[in-house]
Amino acid sequence: MLTVKDVVKGIADTVKEQYPEAEVYLHGMPGVITAPSFDVYIDSDRSEDDNRVQTVETVCVGIDYYPSEQAGQQEGIKPLDVYSSLKSVFRNGFVRIGGRALKVVLLRGGRRDGVTFLIVKLVFCDYRPVDIYDRPIGEEAHPKMNKINLKVNQEG
């Protein structure tokens, strides 16, 4: 089963492969940062849809790029080049994480306050164990609910 933590780590690893010379931080920047660097984090848009067969998760992962102070004056990593190349990494429609291909459903980004950012929205699903089909409906998720239903039915 793939976790959100695995997804964020996988995106960070993808960024590190693309830019091995830059620092990649997870879930927040330290007080003193090395430039150029990236911050990879969970964006606020996240959802989960459960049913008896599978769980479908939607996760948005943000990538912020902090350029070095000389980025505009020298050759090397330039903010708009970073945006374009990161976008191209995810543009093929999927990203491999943990031996799986996660579907990329949305890419959005740009620049704000001198920071280049990209938001990658991913969708993936995990199937439940096979033995769940043998259980009566409701028992796997709400065992107390069955007791309440029985009590109501006996009174009526």
What's the whole-number mean pLDDT along residues 97-105? 92
What's the whole-number mean pLDDT along residues 45-70? 80
Pick the closest to residue 77 from 39, 116, 29 (CA basis): 116
Q: What percent of the chain has pLDDT over 90?
A: 37
Q: Report the distance separating Cα 5 and Cα 35, nearest Å.
A: 25
Q: Which helix (H) or strand (E) holds 155?
A: helix 143-155
pLDDT in tens, 43-55: 876 777 777 677 8
pLDDT at 122: 94
Residue 98 has pLDDT above 70, yes or no: yes
Quickly state the pLDDT bin for 76 (edges 50, 70, 90): low
Q: What CATH code is carried by the domain that includes residue 32?
A: 3.30.2000
What's the whole-number mean pLDDT along residues 5-27? 92
Quickly state the pLDDT bin for 41 (edges 50, 70, 90): very high
Q: What beta strand segments (E) does the chain contain?
A: 23-26, 37-50, 54-66, 94-97, 100-112, 115-127
Averaged pLDDT of the chain: 79
Q: How many structural domains are present in the chain?
A: 1
Q: Report the distance separating Cα 30 and Cα 120, nearest Å.
A: 23
pLDDT at 138: 53
- Domain containing 43 equals 4-155
CB 66 within 8 Å of CB 33: yes
Residue 148 has pLDDT above 60, yes or no: no
